[in-house]
Chains A and B, each alone.
Chain A
Amino acid sequence: MEGWLAPTELAGGFLQFLILGLVIGSLYALIALGYTMVYGIIELINFAHGDLFMLGAFFALGLAIWPMGVTTAEAPLPALVATVALMLLLTPLFCAIVNVSVDRVVYRPLRNSPKLTVIVSAIGVSFIFMNIGLLWRGATPVKFPDLISDANLLEGTGLRFTWKDLMVVAVTVPTMIALTLFVRYTRLGKAMRATAQNPVAAQLMGINVNRVIAVTFAIGGALAGVASVIYGLYIKAVDYQMGFQNGLYAFTAAVLGGVGNIPGAVLGGLTIGVVGELAKAYLGAKWSEAVIFGILIVVLLFRPTGLLGARTREKV
């Protein structure tokens, strides 16, 4: 306990932690969307998703170092903007390609196998990704270029909301809105929802189910790619094990919101972010992880299908 704060300070502190939590939470939400979409369609807990996120961060780091050569915020503004734009463009592409290839090579031949078989394969893919990350950048954390200013946008109000925080919100919120609109209003989105509801019926209606699944993996991968760039720029350090921890949080977020449910993943991500930050502030950093999983368990006890999950019967 860091000592009791004065009432005004406490209110300001609370608001501050709330802001921080929402920012971090929108990052988790972005990763959680990848989990939730894949789960919604093929009922696979994609254990490799977090590690894909890690590979994305390494790729973005590579982009900053090699073609751009921009590794500090002192570089001229156009170079900074170009670097971030290139990262946000190529990293999702890279992650999408990797994710679709993995689906094609590993998961697709197992389409009719029992669930456990596919989950174990996903664990295998996760191991391979982690090892690739280890060979790529070594076992110790690597500094990620600090490209965005830390200047406070809310100077004078007693709160802190930096350009970095703004960047997170400015990237994650439009991405999530675009995804929601895509799934709700486009033909492909409709095909995705149909496949999620009943793959066989969708196939009978002329939907190319394998293609829809590939698109889902591509979108999920791209979201992980976006999240990895944002994460790298925000946290400023990456290592080969970051995928596990953050993937776990994101997956918790997905389950908390009701896995397979897109708004649920966003809600879950924000909840996890806020709860984590508040626990960090009031209970100490070392308990925040335990609190997050405690909340997860409590929520699942009372709503076994998550906050927004439909009360469906298990597919038999």
Chain B
Amino acid sequence: MKRLLQHWVVVLFVLLAVYPLLPVAEATRGEQFTHLFIYAILAQGLNIVLGLTGLLHLGIAAFFAIGAYTVGILTVSHFPFQQSFAVAAVAAVVMAALAGVLTTAPILRLRGDYLALVTLGLGLIVLYAIRNLDPITDGTKGLGPIDAGPLPGFSGRNLESWRLKSDWGRNWYNYPYFYYLSLTALGAVMLLVRNLEHSRLGRAWVALREDELAATCMGLNPARLKLAAIAVGGGVAGLAGALYAMALRHTGNPQAYDFTLSMLMICCVILGGMGNRNGVLLGTFLLIGFDRILTSILDNEIQAWVGSAAPYLKLSGYRLLIFGLVLILMMRFRPEGLLPARRIQRELHPEYDEAVGRAAAQAELAETAATAAESPAPLPLHASNAPASDTQHSFR
């Protein structure tokens, strides 16, 4: 238990879990956090596809949208389905995973950049379909209100006995319920990714990312592995979409599922560290947290401080500029991300391994010299893994 609490991710989860119980908790802030968790789930989905398997997928928002609209269609009152959330969420995951497999299977033989472009096109086609298929998706208005019970046969309207604090309201759609639902889902997805990384499948994905040719020669089946990655990643993204529609109680403006979202998610994954789930979590919290939460706070602070609400004083007017600069500077000086996956860091910083190798060689030399002199000098205990001064230790 003590060792578990030493990891910052666990500490973060514990802190987030107690937040709604604290007296400082606010409904708006809680809703913002809920969205943060949802985007973090989406980023983990992309991390499976991009970070672990190395497929540059530019249309992850499509799976998010499919998840959200599946929930919408299965729960809103003007369709005959009227399912509960649990059923709708499972359906959303299945639909998104299925969509991933069906759209990726025909394009598997495309390589690199062509694959990237086709996935971009797929993302846009899904967006246009949502916008144009009015009878199913209500076009630009979006589907809503989503107003179903959490479980089959459980209306969940009256949660009097479940309330821990008086301001939580008596309906399940007051923020704490979705807050905990999303946080739990995020924790579950993180555990899933962790277990996947260490599984046979996850190791095969990483092998594929590192060198497809070599992986194939080792007897791996790239097509099947890629499909598995897109199915799992798409499913996770679909789960995020389902939670998004539930927390918003509406599928919202289709604009929310456009290319910008896919790009933003790629930024989160890259900023945090491709292939490192904790890094991706950190990247999402930093980037989305900055975009959705911090900017509005800072804007208010700046306005209160300067005493004017001129548009050029608003930080939100510079958000793309800031994103762009962060991306460019990261790529220039720390392309492996804030918390890099070990393999990717080594790939991008070959001097690290060289330095380690050199240190090992020197240690061996010293040892030989010591043996030759028959002196009882102690062996250099740490020489073999002495890091060079200009590199960072990676940790996962």
Contacts and interface: CB of A to CB of B under 8 A. Distances in A.
Partners in one complex: yes
Interface of A: 39, 43, 45, 106, 109-110, 113-121, 123-132, 134-135, 244, 248, 251-252, 255, 259, 286-287, 289-290, 293-294, 296-297, 300-301, 304-305, 314, 316
A300 B120 CA distance: 13
Contact of A123 (B132, B267, B312): B267
Interface string B255-299: 000010001001100100000000000000000000000000000
B152 interface: no
Interface residues of B, number: 45
A128 B331 contact: no
A120 B113 contact: no
A259 B113 contact: yes
Contacts of A304: 109-111, 114
Interface stretch (B8-16, B235-243, B318-326): B318-326
Given A127-B321, A128-B321, A286-B132, A293 B124 contact: yes
A297 B321 contact: no
B56 to A, nearest CB: 7
Contacts of A255: 114, 117
Contacts of B325: 124, 128
A4 to B, nearest CB: 22
Given A116-B270, A124-B323, A127-B320, 19 more contacts: A39-B113, A106-B328, A114-B348, A117-B335, A118-B331, A120-B266, A121-B328, A123-B263, A123-B266, A127-B321, A248-B124, A255-B117, A287-B128, A290-B125, A293-B121, A296-B117, A296-B118, A304-B110, A314-B112
Label chain A's interface by main secondary structure: helix
A116 B317 CA distance: 28
B129 interface: yes
B contact face: mostly helix, strand, loop, or mixed:
helix
Given A121-B328, A123-B263, A297-B121, A135 B317 contact: yes
Contacts of B117: 45, 251-252, 255, 296, 300
A293 to B, nearest CB: 4
Contacts of A316: 213
A134 B316 CA distance: 11
Considering the complex of A and B, which 4 residue pairs feature the smallest CB-CB distances, nearest first?
Answer: A124-B327, A127-B324, A128-B324, A293-B121
A316 B112 CA distance: 12
B333 to A, nearest CB: 10
B114 A43 contact: no
Interface string B116-145: 111011101100110110000000000000
Contacts of B124: 248, 289-290, 293
B17 to A, nearest CB: 33
A130 B320 contact: yes
Interface string B178-212: 00000000000000000000000000000000000
B35 to A, nearest CB: 21
B270 A300 contact: no
B356 to A, nearest CB: 21
B386 interface: no
Interface in B314-362: 317-321, 323-328, 330-332, 335, 347-348
A121 B331 contact: yes
A127 B329 CA distance: 13
A124 B326 contact: yes
